[in-house]
Amino acid sequence: MKTAMSKRKKALYLMLMYIVYIFVAFLFIAPIIYMVVSSMKTDAQIVSDMSTYKAFLPVGTLTLDNFLQVISKVHFMKFFKNSVVVAIINVPLVTIVNAMIGYALGMLDFKGKNLLISLIIALSIIPTEAVIINRFMVANQLHMLNSYVGLALPTMGYPMYIFLYYNHFKGMPKELMEAAIVDGESYGGIFWRIMLPLSKPICATVIIMSFIRTWGDLLWPTLVTRDETYRTLPLALRALSSDVYIFWGQIFAFATLMTIPVFIIFLLFQKQFIQSLTMSGIKG
């Protein structure tokens, strides 16, 4: 009898947990559903459905005109190309450069190491807005404004990524490096041939995080660019809203197209990303 009751309690507990999981998952998925569904509605339909459950349902007059308007009149592909070029320059450099710094801090011994680690931790809690003017002044002195280089390079170093790599390399077995040194390998060779290939999960995490950060950045491109030649997707999306009229359908269509590459990047690296969460204990 007790066994039967304990099984019922366990089944009830599991059912309640699954209900909670489904509810939490819906909270994260609902905005995406709303965005995709609204991208196929007219502005009048979006405003009409906005405060009802119909906002999440493909009801009413559905059309692809918003996507056609975004691609043809808003020149989505032009801004998409700029964002892709900036991401291609920025993401690999962020992944490698921060990995090098994390490797040096995590596996090598040198004077001032603890001070550098403390500075990196301190820098990670300083908001970007507090230092962005100084970064802009340096970029201006180096004549990097209104260029792909100016968009990509100044955001290359990031304290949080360095700290992630530092924690990762700090947990690597020292015997690997010692054995490689005995075999005549240099510190650079150890990084490229041994440590970096063993760091695929944490590299995937940094790739995903840096891509999302670069792809959705609005503040830095606003300061750096001077015309549409180098402007990225977030700036073009902002232009769809004015004091006179807000093009809701085009905004949702633009946002839907802009979100697709993020999903693709996550799907490509999701296995390594989940593995890194398990290994490093990152939460949230």
Kindly state whether residues 160 and 49 are assigned to the same domain. Answer: no
Kindly state whether residues 90 and 231 are assigned to the same domain. Answer: yes
Last residue of some domain: 66, 85, 108?
66
Beta bridge partners of 246: 241
What pLDDT score does 54 carry?
A: 86
What pLDDT score does 53 carry?
A: 86
Give me the chain's average pLDDT, please: 87
What pLDDT score does 87 carry?
A: 95
- The DSSP annotation for the chain comes to -HHHHHHHHHHHHHHHHHHHHHHHHHHHHHHHHHHHHHTTB-HHHHHHHTTSGGGGS--S-B-SHHHHHHHHTS-HHHHHHHHHHHHHHHHHHHHHHHHHHHHHHHH---TTHHHHHHHHHHHHTS-HHHHHHHHHHHHHHTT-SSSHHHHHGGG---HHHHHHHHHHHHTS-HHHHHHHHHTT--HHHHIIIIITGGGHHHHHHHHHHHHHHHHT--HHHHHH--STTS--HHHHHHTTB-SS-B-HHHHHHHHHHHHHHHHHHHHHHHHHHHHHHHHH----
Geometric angle at alpha carbon 177, from 114 and 192, rounded to 5°? 95
Beta bridge partners of 41: 62
Q: Percent of the chain, pLDDT > 70?
A: 94
Kindly state whether residues 171 and 188 are assigned to the same domain. Answer: yes
Kindly state whether residues 186 and 259 are assigned to the same domain. Answer: yes
Inform me whether the pLDDT recorded for 283 exceeds 60: no
Average pLDDT over residues 154-181: 88
Kindly state whether residues 272 and 248 are assigned to the same domain. Answer: yes
Inform me whether the pLDDT recorded for 1 exceeds 60: no
Inform me whether the pLDDT recorded for 266 exceeds 60: yes
Confidence tier at 171 by pLDDT (50, 70, 90): confident
CA distance 129 to 220: 10
At 49-106, the pLDDT tens digits run 888 888 888 888 888 999 999 988 888 999 999 999 999 999 999 999 999 999 999 8
pTM (2 d.p.): 0.86
Kindly state whether residues 44 and 110 are assigned to the same domain. Answer: no
Kindly state whether residues 106 and 13 are assigned to the same domain. Answer: no
Tell me the C-alpha to C-alpha distance, in Å, between residue 66 and each of 2, 46, 228, 251.
Answer: 61, 12, 21, 8
Last residue of some domain: 66, 87, 105?
66
Kindly state whether residues 168 and 255 are assigned to the same domain. Answer: yes
Phi, psi of 119 (to 5 degrees): -65, -40
Kindly state whether residues 10 and 92 are assigned to the same domain. Answer: no
Beta bridge partners of 241: 246
What pLDDT score does 51 carry?
A: 82
Number of domains in the chain: 2
Least confident of 23-27, 137-141, 166-170, 237-241: 237-241
Residues in the chain: 284
Inform me whether the pLDDT recorded for 165 exceeds 90: yes
What residues make up the domain containing 250? Answer: 75-280
CA distance 123 to 10: 47
CA distance 180 to 161: 26
Last residue of some domain: 66, 101, 119?
66
Tokens of residue 124, six digits: 């990670």
Kindly state whether residues 57 and 104 are assigned to the same domain. Answer: no
Higher pLDDT residue, 280 or 37? 37
Higher pLDDT residue, 256 or 128? 256
Phi, psi of 62 (to 5 degrees): -105, 135
Note whether 51 and 41 are within 8 A (CB): no
What pLDDT score does 284 carry?
A: 39
Kindly state whether residues 112 and 204 are assigned to the same domain. Answer: yes
User: CATH code at 113?
Assistant: 1.10.3720.10
Kindly state whether residues 94 and 142 are assigned to the same domain. Answer: yes
